[in-house]
Amino acid sequence: MSELLFELPLRSADRAPHAHALVHKNNAIDYASLARAIDGFANAAVGGLGIGKLERIAVYLPKVPETVVAMFGAARAGCVFVPVNPLLKPAQVGHILRDCNVSALVTSGERAAALADELRTCTDLRHLVLTGAGESAPSGGHFAVHAWRDLAAHPGATGLHRVIDTDMVSIFYTSGSTGRPKGVVLSHRNMVTGAHSVAGYLGNTAEDRLLAVLPFGFDYGFSQLSTAFHAGASVTLMDYLLARDILTALARERITGLAGVPPLWAQLADLRWPESLTTHLRYLTNSGGAMPGATLQKLRDALPRTQVFLMYGLTEAFRSTYLPPAEIDNRPGSMGKAIPNAEIMVVRPDGAPCAPEEPGELVHRGSLVSLGYWNDPVKTAERFKPSPGQDKGLVLTELAVWSGDTVRMDKDGYLYFVGRRDEMIKTSGYRVSPTEIEEVAFASGLVADATAIGVPHPTLGQAAVLVAAPADGRAPADGPLLDAIRKELPAFMVPARIVWREGLPRNPNGKYDRASLASELKGLFSEGAP
Protein backbone atom coordinates (compact mmCIF):
# COMPACT_ATOMS: atom_id res chain seq x y z
CA MET A 1 0.00 0.00 0.00
CA SER A 2 1.24 3.48 -0.84
CA GLU A 3 2.13 5.60 2.18
CA LEU A 4 1.93 9.07 0.61
CA LEU A 5 -1.03 10.45 -1.29
CA PHE A 6 0.83 11.46 -4.45
CA GLU A 7 2.26 7.95 -4.74
CA LEU A 8 -1.18 6.62 -5.72
CA PRO A 9 -1.13 7.96 -9.31
CA LEU A 10 2.65 7.64 -9.63
CA ARG A 11 2.63 3.92 -8.77
CA SER A 12 -0.28 3.36 -11.13
CA ALA A 13 1.84 5.06 -13.80
CA ASP A 14 4.63 2.58 -13.11
CA ARG A 15 2.23 -0.36 -13.42
CA ALA A 16 0.30 0.77 -16.49
CA PRO A 17 1.72 4.00 -18.00
CA HIS A 18 -0.62 4.03 -21.00
CA ALA A 19 -3.85 3.35 -19.10
CA HIS A 20 -6.30 6.25 -18.93
CA ALA A 21 -6.14 8.16 -15.66
CA LEU A 22 -8.41 11.12 -16.49
CA VAL A 23 -11.02 11.78 -19.14
CA HIS A 24 -12.27 15.34 -19.66
CA LYS A 25 -14.66 16.13 -22.49
CA ASN A 26 -13.03 14.58 -25.54
CA ASN A 27 -9.52 14.29 -24.10
CA ALA A 28 -7.97 11.37 -22.25
CA ILE A 29 -4.81 11.64 -20.13
CA ASP A 30 -2.86 8.47 -19.43
CA TYR A 31 -1.12 7.74 -16.16
CA ALA A 32 2.34 8.44 -17.55
CA SER A 33 1.27 11.92 -18.71
CA LEU A 34 -0.48 12.60 -15.41
CA ALA A 35 2.63 11.58 -13.47
CA ARG A 36 4.81 13.91 -15.57
CA ALA A 37 2.37 16.79 -15.03
CA ILE A 38 2.29 16.15 -11.26
CA ASP A 39 6.09 16.10 -11.12
CA GLY A 40 6.23 19.26 -13.25
CA PHE A 41 3.90 21.19 -10.97
CA ALA A 42 5.78 19.99 -7.89
CA ASN A 43 9.12 21.06 -9.34
CA ALA A 44 7.72 24.45 -10.31
CA ALA A 45 6.14 24.98 -6.87
CA VAL A 46 9.42 24.35 -5.06
CA GLY A 47 12.05 25.46 -7.57
CA GLY A 48 10.16 28.20 -9.38
CA LEU A 49 7.82 29.67 -6.78
CA GLY A 50 9.82 28.82 -3.68
CA ILE A 51 6.88 27.35 -1.80
CA GLY A 52 8.11 25.95 1.50
CA LYS A 53 7.42 22.62 3.14
CA LEU A 54 3.77 22.29 4.29
CA GLU A 55 2.85 25.74 2.96
CA ARG A 56 -0.68 25.92 1.58
CA ILE A 57 -1.59 25.94 -2.11
CA ALA A 58 -5.29 26.60 -2.77
CA VAL A 59 -7.05 25.34 -5.90
CA TYR A 60 -10.22 27.18 -6.93
CA LEU A 61 -11.29 25.61 -10.21
CA PRO A 62 -14.03 23.42 -11.66
CA LYS A 63 -13.35 19.76 -12.42
CA VAL A 64 -10.64 20.08 -15.05
CA PRO A 65 -7.30 18.23 -15.38
CA GLU A 66 -5.41 21.23 -13.98
CA THR A 67 -7.36 20.85 -10.73
CA VAL A 68 -6.15 17.29 -10.28
CA VAL A 69 -2.56 18.10 -11.27
CA ALA A 70 -2.39 21.05 -8.88
CA MET A 71 -3.72 19.09 -5.89
CA PHE A 72 -1.52 16.03 -6.34
CA GLY A 73 1.38 18.20 -7.48
CA ALA A 74 1.19 20.21 -4.28
CA ALA A 75 1.26 16.96 -2.30
CA ARG A 76 4.24 15.76 -4.37
CA ALA A 77 6.08 18.98 -3.59
CA GLY A 78 5.66 18.43 0.15
CA CYS A 79 3.10 21.22 0.40
CA VAL A 80 -0.54 21.21 1.49
CA PHE A 81 -3.37 21.59 -1.01
CA VAL A 82 -6.60 23.36 -0.14
CA PRO A 83 -9.42 22.44 -2.54
CA VAL A 84 -11.95 25.26 -2.64
CA ASN A 85 -15.48 24.42 -3.71
CA PRO A 86 -16.05 26.28 -7.01
CA LEU A 87 -19.62 27.07 -5.89
CA LEU A 88 -18.41 29.34 -3.08
CA LYS A 89 -18.71 33.11 -3.41
CA PRO A 90 -15.75 35.53 -3.17
CA ALA A 91 -16.21 36.40 0.52
CA GLN A 92 -16.20 32.72 1.48
CA VAL A 93 -13.15 32.01 -0.68
CA GLY A 94 -11.35 34.99 0.83
CA HIS A 95 -12.00 33.69 4.33
CA ILE A 96 -10.45 30.32 3.44
CA LEU A 97 -7.39 31.89 1.84
CA ARG A 98 -6.77 34.10 4.85
CA ASP A 99 -7.64 31.48 7.46
CA CYS A 100 -4.98 28.99 6.41
CA ASN A 101 -2.44 31.57 5.18
CA VAL A 102 -2.43 30.39 1.58
CA SER A 103 0.89 31.08 -0.21
CA ALA A 104 -0.28 30.27 -3.75
CA LEU A 105 -3.67 30.16 -5.47
CA VAL A 106 -4.38 28.24 -8.66
CA THR A 107 -7.48 29.51 -10.43
CA SER A 108 -8.76 30.93 -13.72
CA GLY A 109 -8.52 34.53 -14.85
CA GLU A 110 -12.28 34.96 -14.62
CA ARG A 111 -12.42 33.64 -11.07
CA ALA A 112 -9.39 35.71 -10.07
CA ALA A 113 -11.09 38.86 -11.37
CA ALA A 114 -14.14 38.11 -9.23
CA LEU A 115 -11.81 37.65 -6.23
CA ALA A 116 -9.87 40.88 -6.80
CA ASP A 117 -11.10 42.67 -3.67
CA GLU A 118 -10.57 39.61 -1.51
CA LEU A 119 -7.08 38.90 -2.83
CA ARG A 120 -5.90 42.36 -1.78
CA THR A 121 -6.58 41.36 1.83
CA CYS A 122 -4.77 37.99 1.57
CA THR A 123 -1.41 39.27 2.75
CA ASP A 124 0.23 35.82 2.85
CA LEU A 125 -0.54 35.20 -0.83
CA ARG A 126 2.70 35.38 -2.85
CA HIS A 127 1.72 33.67 -6.10
CA LEU A 128 -1.36 33.62 -8.31
CA VAL A 129 -1.35 30.90 -10.98
CA LEU A 130 -3.86 31.36 -13.80
CA THR A 131 -5.10 28.58 -16.05
CA GLY A 132 -6.41 29.12 -19.57
CA ALA A 133 -5.09 31.09 -22.49
CA GLY A 134 -4.98 34.85 -22.57
CA GLU A 135 -6.51 35.40 -19.16
CA SER A 136 -5.61 38.60 -17.34
CA ALA A 137 -4.83 38.97 -13.66
CA PRO A 138 -6.30 41.35 -11.10
CA SER A 139 -4.06 44.05 -9.74
CA GLY A 140 -2.55 43.09 -6.43
CA GLY A 141 0.93 44.29 -5.73
CA HIS A 142 1.95 41.80 -3.08
CA PHE A 143 1.67 38.66 -5.24
CA ALA A 144 3.27 37.58 -8.50
CA VAL A 145 1.12 36.32 -11.38
CA HIS A 146 2.06 33.23 -13.40
CA ALA A 147 0.56 31.45 -16.39
CA TRP A 148 -0.16 27.77 -15.87
CA ARG A 149 1.50 26.85 -19.16
CA ASP A 150 4.75 28.57 -18.09
CA LEU A 151 4.73 26.79 -14.74
CA ALA A 152 4.20 23.44 -16.41
CA ALA A 153 7.35 24.00 -18.49
CA HIS A 154 9.58 24.62 -15.47
CA PRO A 155 12.81 22.62 -15.82
CA GLY A 156 12.81 21.25 -12.29
CA ALA A 157 13.90 21.84 -8.75
CA THR A 158 17.01 20.94 -6.85
CA GLY A 159 14.92 18.81 -4.51
CA LEU A 160 11.37 18.42 -3.28
CA HIS A 161 10.45 18.66 0.37
CA ARG A 162 10.57 15.37 2.26
CA VAL A 163 7.40 14.43 4.10
CA ILE A 164 6.15 11.35 5.95
CA ASP A 165 2.72 9.77 6.12
CA THR A 166 1.67 11.56 9.32
CA ASP A 167 2.35 15.00 7.82
CA MET A 168 -0.63 17.06 6.76
CA VAL A 169 -1.37 17.04 3.05
CA SER A 170 -4.73 18.78 2.68
CA ILE A 171 -7.19 21.08 4.41
CA PHE A 172 -10.87 20.58 3.57
CA TYR A 173 -13.16 23.37 4.67
CA THR A 174 -16.50 22.48 6.18
CA SER A 175 -18.98 24.94 7.64
CA GLY A 176 -19.24 25.13 11.39
CA SER A 177 -22.25 25.77 13.57
CA THR A 178 -20.67 28.89 15.01
CA GLY A 179 -19.97 30.77 11.82
CA ARG A 180 -17.17 30.62 9.29
CA PRO A 181 -16.05 27.36 7.65
CA LYS A 182 -13.55 25.27 9.61
CA GLY A 183 -10.52 23.70 7.99
CA VAL A 184 -10.22 19.96 8.60
CA VAL A 185 -6.55 18.96 8.41
CA LEU A 186 -5.92 15.59 6.77
CA SER A 187 -2.66 13.67 6.65
CA HIS A 188 -1.25 11.46 3.94
CA ARG A 189 -2.07 8.49 6.16
CA ASN A 190 -5.72 9.59 6.53
CA MET A 191 -6.28 9.85 2.81
CA VAL A 192 -4.29 6.81 1.71
CA THR A 193 -5.92 4.62 4.36
CA GLY A 194 -9.32 5.88 3.21
CA ALA A 195 -8.52 5.15 -0.43
CA HIS A 196 -7.29 1.65 0.37
CA SER A 197 -10.28 0.88 2.57
CA VAL A 198 -12.96 2.24 0.21
CA ALA A 199 -11.41 0.73 -2.90
CA GLY A 200 -11.30 -2.58 -1.04
CA TYR A 201 -14.98 -2.88 -0.15
CA LEU A 202 -16.07 -1.41 -3.49
CA GLY A 203 -13.88 -3.93 -5.27
CA ASN A 204 -12.21 -1.29 -7.45
CA THR A 205 -9.79 -2.52 -10.12
CA ALA A 206 -7.90 -1.02 -13.03
CA GLU A 207 -10.88 -1.90 -15.23
CA ASP A 208 -13.16 0.56 -13.42
CA ARG A 209 -14.22 3.88 -14.94
CA LEU A 210 -15.58 6.33 -12.38
CA LEU A 211 -17.65 9.42 -13.12
CA ALA A 212 -16.73 12.35 -10.85
CA VAL A 213 -19.70 14.72 -10.54
CA LEU A 214 -19.25 15.90 -6.92
CA PRO A 215 -16.98 18.86 -6.04
CA PHE A 216 -13.40 18.01 -5.12
CA GLY A 217 -13.68 20.47 -2.22
CA PHE A 218 -16.04 17.90 -0.72
CA ASP A 219 -14.11 14.99 0.82
CA TYR A 220 -16.56 12.49 -0.66
CA GLY A 221 -15.99 14.03 -4.10
CA PHE A 222 -12.21 13.93 -3.73
CA SER A 223 -12.43 10.29 -2.71
CA GLN A 224 -13.36 9.42 -6.29
CA LEU A 225 -9.84 10.42 -7.30
CA SER A 226 -7.96 8.71 -4.49
CA THR A 227 -9.81 5.39 -4.78
CA ALA A 228 -9.46 5.37 -8.57
CA PHE A 229 -5.75 6.16 -8.49
CA HIS A 230 -5.20 3.52 -5.81
CA ALA A 231 -6.67 0.89 -8.14
CA GLY A 232 -5.28 2.31 -11.39
CA ALA A 233 -8.81 3.06 -12.64
CA SER A 234 -9.85 6.03 -14.77
CA VAL A 235 -11.89 9.06 -13.68
CA THR A 236 -14.13 11.06 -16.01
CA LEU A 237 -14.37 14.67 -14.85
CA MET A 238 -17.78 16.28 -15.21
CA ASP A 239 -19.51 19.49 -14.16
CA TYR A 240 -23.13 18.92 -15.14
CA LEU A 241 -26.02 21.32 -15.71
CA LEU A 242 -28.89 18.84 -15.91
CA ALA A 243 -29.27 15.46 -14.22
CA ARG A 244 -29.99 13.78 -17.55
CA ASP A 245 -26.51 14.85 -18.71
CA ILE A 246 -25.12 12.42 -16.15
CA LEU A 247 -27.02 9.52 -17.71
CA THR A 248 -25.64 10.48 -21.11
CA ALA A 249 -22.09 10.49 -19.73
CA LEU A 250 -22.61 7.16 -17.95
CA ALA A 251 -23.56 5.54 -21.26
CA ARG A 252 -20.98 7.33 -23.44
CA GLU A 253 -18.01 6.61 -21.16
CA ARG A 254 -19.24 3.13 -20.11
CA ILE A 255 -18.93 4.16 -16.47
CA THR A 256 -18.71 1.42 -13.84
CA GLY A 257 -19.07 3.48 -10.64
CA LEU A 258 -20.98 6.62 -9.68
CA ALA A 259 -21.02 8.49 -6.34
CA GLY A 260 -23.83 10.86 -5.42
CA VAL A 261 -25.74 12.56 -2.61
CA PRO A 262 -29.46 12.15 -1.83
CA PRO A 263 -30.77 15.20 -3.78
CA LEU A 264 -28.92 14.08 -6.89
CA TRP A 265 -30.25 10.54 -6.55
CA ALA A 266 -33.77 11.95 -6.18
CA GLN A 267 -33.38 13.71 -9.54
CA LEU A 268 -31.81 10.72 -11.26
CA ALA A 269 -34.33 8.22 -9.91
CA ASP A 270 -37.17 9.94 -11.77
CA LEU A 271 -35.38 9.70 -15.13
CA ARG A 272 -35.50 6.88 -17.64
CA TRP A 273 -32.20 5.02 -17.35
CA PRO A 274 -30.81 3.58 -20.60
CA GLU A 275 -31.03 -0.20 -20.53
CA SER A 276 -27.44 -0.40 -21.79
CA LEU A 277 -26.18 0.89 -18.42
CA THR A 278 -27.05 -2.41 -16.79
CA THR A 279 -24.22 -4.06 -18.74
CA HIS A 280 -21.41 -1.95 -17.25
CA LEU A 281 -22.60 0.24 -14.30
CA ARG A 282 -21.31 -1.95 -11.48
CA TYR A 283 -22.13 0.16 -8.42
CA LEU A 284 -23.62 3.36 -7.01
CA THR A 285 -22.57 4.92 -3.70
CA ASN A 286 -24.49 7.32 -1.48
CA SER A 287 -23.21 9.54 1.32
CA GLY A 288 -23.95 13.03 2.65
CA GLY A 289 -27.28 11.98 4.16
CA ALA A 290 -29.71 9.09 4.12
CA MET A 291 -31.16 8.11 0.78
CA PRO A 292 -34.98 8.01 0.98
CA GLY A 293 -36.38 4.50 0.67
CA ALA A 294 -38.54 5.39 -2.33
CA THR A 295 -35.52 6.79 -4.18
CA LEU A 296 -33.46 3.72 -3.37
CA GLN A 297 -36.18 1.41 -4.68
CA LYS A 298 -36.53 3.34 -7.96
CA LEU A 299 -32.80 3.08 -8.56
CA ARG A 300 -32.71 -0.62 -7.77
CA ASP A 301 -35.69 -1.21 -10.09
CA ALA A 302 -34.00 0.70 -12.92
CA LEU A 303 -30.62 -0.97 -12.34
CA PRO A 304 -31.26 -4.53 -11.14
CA ARG A 305 -27.65 -5.63 -11.78
CA THR A 306 -26.05 -2.58 -10.13
CA GLN A 307 -24.96 -2.74 -6.48
CA VAL A 308 -25.86 0.16 -4.18
CA PHE A 309 -23.51 1.02 -1.31
CA LEU A 310 -25.02 3.22 1.41
CA MET A 311 -22.27 5.04 3.30
CA TYR A 312 -21.73 7.52 6.13
CA GLY A 313 -18.73 9.75 6.45
CA LEU A 314 -17.23 12.55 8.49
CA THR A 315 -14.81 15.00 6.94
CA GLU A 316 -13.05 14.83 10.31
CA ALA A 317 -12.39 11.12 9.70
CA PHE A 318 -12.69 11.01 5.90
CA ARG A 319 -14.76 7.76 5.74
CA SER A 320 -16.64 5.90 8.50
CA THR A 321 -19.27 3.24 7.64
CA TYR A 322 -20.89 1.39 4.77
CA LEU A 323 -23.77 -1.04 4.33
CA PRO A 324 -22.99 -3.99 2.05
CA PRO A 325 -25.52 -4.19 -0.81
CA ALA A 326 -26.56 -7.69 0.28
CA GLU A 327 -27.78 -6.25 3.59
CA ILE A 328 -30.04 -3.51 2.21
CA ASP A 329 -33.20 -5.61 2.39
CA ASN A 330 -32.22 -7.15 5.72
CA ARG A 331 -31.28 -3.84 7.40
CA PRO A 332 -33.60 -1.14 6.04
CA GLY A 333 -32.48 2.32 7.14
CA SER A 334 -29.07 1.14 8.36
CA MET A 335 -25.86 3.07 7.75
CA GLY A 336 -23.92 -0.19 8.06
CA LYS A 337 -20.78 -1.02 9.99
CA ALA A 338 -17.31 0.47 10.19
CA ILE A 339 -15.24 0.44 7.03
CA PRO A 340 -12.01 -1.60 7.15
CA ASN A 341 -9.34 -0.17 9.47
CA ALA A 342 -11.80 1.93 11.47
CA GLU A 343 -13.64 1.37 14.73
CA ILE A 344 -17.04 2.96 15.33
CA MET A 345 -18.39 3.13 18.87
CA VAL A 346 -21.71 4.32 20.30
CA VAL A 347 -21.21 5.89 23.71
CA ARG A 348 -22.93 7.79 26.49
CA PRO A 349 -21.78 11.30 27.46
CA ASP A 350 -19.30 9.79 29.94
CA GLY A 351 -17.77 7.55 27.26
CA ALA A 352 -19.35 4.33 28.52
CA PRO A 353 -20.58 2.05 25.73
CA CYS A 354 -24.29 2.09 24.98
CA ALA A 355 -26.35 -1.06 25.16
CA PRO A 356 -27.82 -2.46 21.91
CA GLU A 357 -30.53 -0.13 20.57
CA GLU A 358 -29.61 2.57 23.10
CA PRO A 359 -29.04 5.94 21.37
CA GLY A 360 -25.64 7.51 21.90
CA GLU A 361 -22.95 9.56 20.20
CA LEU A 362 -21.01 8.05 17.31
CA VAL A 363 -17.27 8.03 18.01
CA HIS A 364 -14.74 7.12 15.32
CA ARG A 365 -11.20 5.94 16.16
CA GLY A 366 -8.30 4.77 14.02
CA SER A 367 -5.88 5.95 11.36
CA LEU A 368 -8.61 7.81 9.47
CA VAL A 369 -9.02 10.34 12.29
CA SER A 370 -7.79 13.69 11.01
CA LEU A 371 -5.31 16.12 12.60
CA GLY A 372 -8.02 18.45 13.90
CA TYR A 373 -9.26 21.86 12.78
CA TRP A 374 -6.76 24.32 11.36
CA ASN A 375 -5.92 27.15 13.76
CA ASP A 376 -8.92 26.40 16.00
CA PRO A 377 -7.83 24.77 19.27
CA VAL A 378 -11.20 25.35 20.95
CA LYS A 379 -13.26 23.55 18.31
CA THR A 380 -10.61 20.86 17.98
CA ALA A 381 -10.80 20.15 21.70
CA GLU A 382 -14.60 19.92 21.50
CA ARG A 383 -14.63 17.36 18.69
CA PHE A 384 -11.31 15.47 19.09
CA LYS A 385 -11.24 13.86 22.53
CA PRO A 386 -9.69 10.78 24.13
CA SER A 387 -10.93 7.55 22.65
CA PRO A 388 -13.24 5.69 25.04
CA GLY A 389 -12.07 2.49 26.69
CA GLN A 390 -8.31 3.07 26.56
CA ASP A 391 -6.08 1.02 28.81
CA LYS A 392 -4.98 3.11 31.77
CA GLY A 393 -1.41 1.92 31.22
CA LEU A 394 -1.14 3.92 28.01
CA VAL A 395 0.62 7.16 28.82
CA LEU A 396 -0.06 8.87 25.47
CA THR A 397 -3.76 9.39 24.85
CA GLU A 398 -5.26 8.29 21.57
CA LEU A 399 -7.71 10.85 20.19
CA ALA A 400 -10.95 9.96 18.45
CA VAL A 401 -13.59 12.00 16.62
CA TRP A 402 -16.73 12.56 18.66
CA SER A 403 -19.10 13.15 15.77
CA GLY A 404 -21.96 15.03 17.39
CA ASP A 405 -24.31 12.56 15.64
CA THR A 406 -26.71 10.42 17.67
CA VAL A 407 -26.98 6.83 16.45
CA ARG A 408 -28.01 3.43 17.76
CA MET A 409 -26.44 0.03 17.19
CA ASP A 410 -28.44 -3.18 16.92
CA LYS A 411 -27.39 -6.48 18.49
CA ASP A 412 -25.55 -7.45 15.28
CA GLY A 413 -23.47 -4.27 15.26
CA TYR A 414 -25.33 -2.42 12.49
CA LEU A 415 -25.74 1.32 12.99
CA TYR A 416 -28.81 3.50 12.49
CA PHE A 417 -28.81 7.30 12.34
CA VAL A 418 -31.01 9.08 14.90
CA GLY A 419 -30.16 12.79 14.58
CA ARG A 420 -27.59 15.55 15.03
CA ARG A 421 -26.59 16.91 18.39
CA ASP A 422 -25.31 20.21 17.08
CA GLU A 423 -27.04 22.93 15.10
CA MET A 424 -25.49 22.20 11.73
CA ILE A 425 -27.78 22.08 8.75
CA LYS A 426 -26.88 19.06 6.61
CA THR A 427 -28.46 19.64 3.19
CA SER A 428 -27.67 18.26 -0.25
CA GLY A 429 -24.58 16.57 1.12
CA TYR A 430 -23.22 19.85 2.51
CA ARG A 431 -22.83 20.97 6.10
CA VAL A 432 -24.15 24.52 6.26
CA SER A 433 -23.52 27.00 9.03
CA PRO A 434 -26.74 28.70 10.23
CA THR A 435 -24.65 31.67 11.30
CA GLU A 436 -23.42 32.31 7.76
CA ILE A 437 -27.03 32.53 6.52
CA GLU A 438 -28.01 34.75 9.44
CA GLU A 439 -25.10 37.13 8.85
CA VAL A 440 -26.14 37.71 5.26
CA ALA A 441 -29.79 38.19 6.27
CA PHE A 442 -28.85 40.83 8.85
CA ALA A 443 -26.48 42.54 6.41
CA SER A 444 -29.37 43.03 3.99
CA GLY A 445 -31.03 45.48 6.37
CA LEU A 446 -34.37 43.76 5.76
CA VAL A 447 -34.66 41.89 9.07
CA ALA A 448 -34.60 42.81 12.72
CA ASP A 449 -34.11 39.26 13.97
CA ALA A 450 -33.23 36.09 12.09
CA THR A 451 -32.17 32.53 12.78
CA ALA A 452 -31.58 29.62 10.41
CA ILE A 453 -32.48 26.05 11.25
CA GLY A 454 -32.49 22.70 9.52
CA VAL A 455 -35.90 21.15 8.92
CA PRO A 456 -36.41 17.54 7.73
CA HIS A 457 -36.92 17.37 3.97
CA PRO A 458 -37.87 14.30 1.92
CA THR A 459 -35.11 14.73 -0.70
CA LEU A 460 -32.55 17.14 0.76
CA GLY A 461 -32.14 15.41 4.12
CA GLN A 462 -32.61 18.80 5.71
CA ALA A 463 -33.70 22.07 4.19
CA ALA A 464 -32.47 25.42 5.46
CA VAL A 465 -35.32 27.53 6.81
CA LEU A 466 -34.83 31.16 7.83
CA VAL A 467 -37.12 32.39 10.59
CA ALA A 468 -37.09 36.19 10.54
CA ALA A 469 -38.73 39.29 11.92
CA PRO A 470 -38.95 42.19 9.46
CA ALA A 471 -36.96 45.36 10.07
CA ASP A 472 -38.85 48.30 11.47
CA GLY A 473 -41.07 49.92 8.91
CA ARG A 474 -40.78 47.02 6.46
CA ALA A 475 -43.41 44.49 5.49
CA PRO A 476 -42.39 40.81 5.24
CA ALA A 477 -41.21 40.12 1.68
CA ASP A 478 -39.51 36.91 0.59
CA GLY A 479 -38.28 38.12 -2.80
CA PRO A 480 -35.95 40.98 -1.79
CA LEU A 481 -34.48 38.99 1.11
CA LEU A 482 -33.84 35.90 -1.01
CA ASP A 483 -32.29 38.08 -3.73
CA ALA A 484 -29.91 39.56 -1.16
CA ILE A 485 -28.95 36.10 0.11
CA ARG A 486 -28.40 34.70 -3.41
CA LYS A 487 -25.92 37.50 -4.13
CA GLU A 488 -23.69 36.41 -1.23
CA LEU A 489 -24.16 32.65 -0.82
CA PRO A 490 -24.08 29.62 -3.13
CA ALA A 491 -27.35 27.98 -4.12
CA PHE A 492 -27.08 25.12 -1.61
CA MET A 493 -27.00 27.64 1.28
CA VAL A 494 -30.04 29.67 0.17
CA PRO A 495 -33.03 28.98 2.48
CA ALA A 496 -35.76 26.82 0.97
CA ARG A 497 -38.35 28.75 2.95
CA ILE A 498 -38.63 32.01 4.91
CA VAL A 499 -40.97 32.01 7.89
CA TRP A 500 -41.87 35.53 9.08
CA ARG A 501 -42.57 36.27 12.74
CA GLU A 502 -43.11 39.39 14.80
CA GLY A 503 -40.39 38.19 17.12
CA LEU A 504 -38.20 35.12 17.67
CA PRO A 505 -38.21 32.95 20.80
CA ARG A 506 -35.16 33.11 23.02
CA ASN A 507 -33.85 30.83 25.75
CA PRO A 508 -32.89 32.00 29.24
CA ASN A 509 -29.40 32.86 28.05
CA GLY A 510 -30.81 35.29 25.52
CA LYS A 511 -29.91 33.12 22.53
CA TYR A 512 -32.35 32.18 19.82
CA ASP A 513 -34.29 29.10 20.86
CA ARG A 514 -33.48 27.02 17.80
CA ALA A 515 -34.72 23.83 19.45
CA SER A 516 -38.28 25.12 19.91
CA LEU A 517 -38.38 26.44 16.35
CA ALA A 518 -37.06 23.15 14.99
CA SER A 519 -39.74 21.25 16.88
CA GLU A 520 -42.46 23.64 15.72
CA LEU A 521 -41.44 23.51 12.05
CA LYS A 522 -40.42 19.86 11.76
CA GLY A 523 -43.45 19.06 9.58
CA LEU A 524 -43.00 22.03 7.25
CA PHE A 525 -41.99 19.87 4.28
CA SER A 526 -43.89 16.73 5.14
CA GLU A 527 -46.34 15.26 2.63
CA GLY A 528 -49.56 17.24 2.62
CA ALA A 529 -48.08 20.28 4.40
CA PRO A 530 -49.11 23.62 2.91
pLDDT digits (tens, 9 = 90+) for 220-258: 999 999 999 999 999 999 998 889 999 999 999 999 999
pLDDT at 266: 82
Pick 240-420's CATH classification: 3.40.50.300, 3.20.20.370, 3.40.50.12780, 3.40.50.720: 3.40.50.12780
HSE-CB of 149 using CA atoms within 13 angstroms: 4
Q: Where in the chain is the domain with CATH 3.40.50.12780?
A: 240-420
| Predicted local confidence at residue 508, as pLDDT | 46
User: How many Å apart are CA 34 and CA 9, to the nearest integer?
Assistant: 8
Cβ neighbors of 395 (< 8 A, separation 6 or more) are none
The Cα–Cα gap between 192 and 481 comes to 44
Percent of the chain with pLDDT over 90: 70
Residue 354 burial (10 A CB sphere; 0-12, 13-18, 19+): middle
The whole-number pLDDT of residue 429 equals 82
* Exposure class string for 255-284: b at 16+ Cβ within 10 A, else e: bbbbbbbbbbbbbbbeeebeeebeeebbbb
Question: Given phi > 0 = left and psi -120 to 50 = alpha, else beta, which region is 78?
Answer: left
- Mapping DSSP onto H, E and C, the string for 289-344 reads CCCCHHHHHHHHHHCCCCEEEEEECCHHHCCCEEECHHHCCCCCCEEEEECCCCEE
Whole-model pTM: value is: 0.87
Report DSSP letters for 95-117, one per residue. HHHHHTT-SEEEEEHHHHHHTHH
The whole-number pLDDT of residue 138 equals 67
CATH 3.40.50.980, the chain: domain bounds: 28-187
Residue 286 CA: distances (Å) to CA of 14, 63, 122, 176, 320 = 32, 20, 37, 23, 13
The set of residues, in sequence order, having a beta carbon less than 8 Å from that of 168 and lying 6+ positions away, is: 54, 80, 185, 186, 187, 371
Ranges of residues in the chain with a pLDDT under 50 are 176-178, 508-509
CATH of 28-187, one of 2.40.480.10, 3.30.70.80, 2.30.30.60, 3.40.50.980: 3.40.50.980
Could you name the CATH architecture of 426-521?
Answer: 2-Layer Sandwich (3.30)
Which regions of the chain carry the CATH code 3.30.300.30?
A: 426-521
The overall average pLDDT reported for the chain is: 91
